[in-house]
Amino acid sequence: MWRLFVYIILLHLLPCQSIAQKVIAITIDGSINPATAGYIHRAIQHAEKQKATSLLIHLNTPGGLLKSTRVIVGDILQSPIPVIVYVSPGGAHAGSAGVFITMAAHIAAMAPGTNIGAAHPVNSGGGSMDTIMSEKVTNDAVAFIRSIANKRGRNANWAAEAVRKSVSLSENEALENNVIDLISNNEQELLTAIDGKNVTVTTGTTALRTKNAKVELMEMGWGEKLLNVLSDPNVAYILFLLGIYGLLFELYSPGAIFPGVLGGISIILALYAMHTLPVNYAGLALIVFAIVLFVLEIKIVSHGILALGGIVSLLLGSMMLIRSEQEFAFARISWVVIISAVAVTTLFFLFIVSMGIQAQRAKPTTGLEGMIGETGQVISELNPLGTVRMHGEIWRAQSPAGIIPEGKKVKVKAIEGLTLIVEPVTDSLT
């Protein structure tokens, strides 16, 4: 009798155990970069600490950096807990780097209306790589994705074609070609469908218990969100130029403070962002050289030669700033951003900064200094001290040149304290 009672209790406890299971979920909606890699790495560690049954990654990406992709794939392959990649929601795309991540998952799923593919490495500057480099990069990526597909028992031939020829598949085609494991309309349907499946992780084979699992959403930390924004090459490029503008404006207008502070912060953030990107330092040097040429154009009469050199240097530097080797389509600076930046920079230096310098060099028109060079009339004889009328006001004056009689016109040569130093005005007619 007591055994029957124990069996009844166990039957009641089994559903509760299933309900107690937890799935950690994260969302990748954007490019694959160091921030994304750090986010996924932290999510795997968090899921392991929480003793979650699996990690669920909602994926929608156009691609990203190959270095970050390798880090993510390595973390998934070495994960002690099952990793599920779900290309969702409808309209989402697992492109470029997303193909590698999806193929590496223990369970790969797609939502209706999604697609996967186009994983061919490209020149991040928008052009094409030379033949030898292109072949090296492509072969390396093919070998990488084949090893992933073979490990997970997925279609390695299609994976290679996705890299070599940038082919893509819809969710139904992906299922038919053994690229993914299933198609699910939503998260709960997916977790129910994979319940009981056996997957192999680093600690051995484990059965998924996801049917009634509680889904806990884990969001990016503020540091990861900041790095994610800064990892955009366009943002890094704009911050770098803004930093230069701010620092130069502070140098030309000492004491303004705000431009210098803003410029310093922008430069630091830009350098931090460039640390995560494949920066070409020749391109960076060309941009700095362009700024130098613009400054020289303001100070030296070159009839536009220095300005033209600055424009060409800035344009070439912007095109070369992000290296093309071993990158997917994400790592590029938009042509719209480049052209806009070159135009704004040219206008900034040739008009705004030059006008500021001219204003600094201009003769003062107000205050005591504004009276230098002005003419007035002697009221009382200067011998050598006396008084003169200047701008309707009577001033004390001194004549180093000798006696100047009353009624004579004089010109102000200098000011000492409140005394005008004057000299007689010679009449042009005799």
Which DSSP string corresponds to 103-170?
HHSSEEEE-TT-EEE------TTSS---HHHHHHHHHHHHHHHHHHHHHHT--HHHHHHHHHS--EEE
More confidently predicted of 317 and 81 = 81
Shared domain check, 77 and 28: yes
Q: Give me the catalytic one of 67, 136, 197, 413.
A: 136
Shared domain check, 333 and 383: no
Question: How buried is 45 (Cβ within 10 angstroms: 0-12 exposed, 13-18 middle, 19+ buried)?
Answer: middle
CA separation, residue 231 to residues 219, 269, 316 (Å): 18, 10, 21
Shared domain check, 206 and 288: no
Following DSSP, what letter does each residue of 53-86 receive, concatenated? SEEEEEEEBS-BBHHHHHHHHHHHHT-SS-EEEE
Shared domain check, 153 and 135: yes
* 266, 271, 273, 278 alpha-carbon torsion, rounded to 10°: 140
Distance CA 314, CA 289 (A): 8
pLDDT at 326 over 70: no
pLDDT at 29 over 60: yes
Q: What is the mean pLDDT of the chain?
A: 81
More confidently predicted of 380 and 368 = 380
176: part of which helix (H) or strand (E)? helix 171-176
Is 136 labeled as catalytic in the residue annotation?
yes
Shared domain check, 239 and 213: no
Q: Which two tokens stand for residue 31?
A: 């490019």
- Cβ pair 316, 282 in contact under 8 A: no
Q: Which residues contact 86 (CB under 8 A, 6 or more apart)?
A: 56, 57, 58, 59, 109, 110, 111, 184, 187, 190
Report, as an integer, the average pLDDT of 277-297: 80
Report field, pTM of the whole predicted structure over 0.95? no
The answer to the question of residue 6 being in a domain is: no
Report, as an integer, the average pLDDT of 116-136: 61
The answer to the question of residue 306 being in a domain is: yes
Report, as an integer, the average pLDDT of 275-280: 72
The answer to the question of residue 308 being in a domain is: yes
pLDDT band at 72 (very low <50, low <70, confident <90, very high): very high
The answer to the question of residue 227 being in a domain is: no
CA separation, residue 74 to residues 41, 48, 99, 148 (Å): 10, 16, 14, 10
Distance CA 376, CA 415 (A): 14
The answer to the question of residue 430 being in a domain is: no
Shared domain check, 406 and 348: no
Q: Give me the catalytic one of 68, 88, 96, 184.
A: 96
pLDDT value at residue 222: 86
pLDDT in tens, 12-26: 544 444 445 899 999
Kindly provide the b/e burial profile for residues 296-317, where b requires at least 16 CB atoms within 10 angstroms of the residue's own CB: ebbeeeeeeebbebbbebbbbb
Least confident stretch, 47-56, 226-235, 409-418: 226-235
Q: Which two tokens stand for residue 144?
A: 């990488």
- Cβ pair 88, 190 in contact under 8 A: no
Distance CA 41, CA 39 (A): 6
The answer to the question of residue 239 being in a domain is: yes
Residue ranges making up the domain that contains 331: 232-361
Question: How buried is 174 (Cβ within 10 angstroms: 0-12 exposed, 13-18 middle, 19+ buried)?
Answer: buried
pLDDT value at residue 249: 76
pLDDT value at residue 121: 63
DSSP state of 404: B
The answer to the question of residue 296 being in a domain is: yes
Residue type, position 47, single letter: A
Which of 167, 152, 65 has its CA nearest to residue 104? 152
Report, as an integer, the average pLDDT of 414-425: 85
Shared domain check, 135 and 106: yes
pLDDT band at 115 (very low <50, low <70, confident <90, very high): very high
Least confident stretch, 39-43, 119-123, 219-223, 387-391: 119-123
pLDDT value at residue 368: 61
Angle in degrees, CA 70, 72, 74, rounded to 5: 65
- Cβ pair 412, 391 in contact under 8 A: no
Question: Which of 257-261, 351-355, 385-389 is the most confident on average?
Answer: 385-389
Shared domain check, 243 and 213: no
Which of 26, 105, 44, 37 has its CA nearest to residue 69? 37
Shared domain check, 170 and 83: yes
Of 310, 344, 361, the last residue of a domain is 361
Q: Which two tokens stand for residue 290?
A: 């362009």
User: Domain count of the chain?
Assistant: 3
Shared domain check, 242 and 197: no
- Cβ pair 354, 294 in contact under 8 A: no
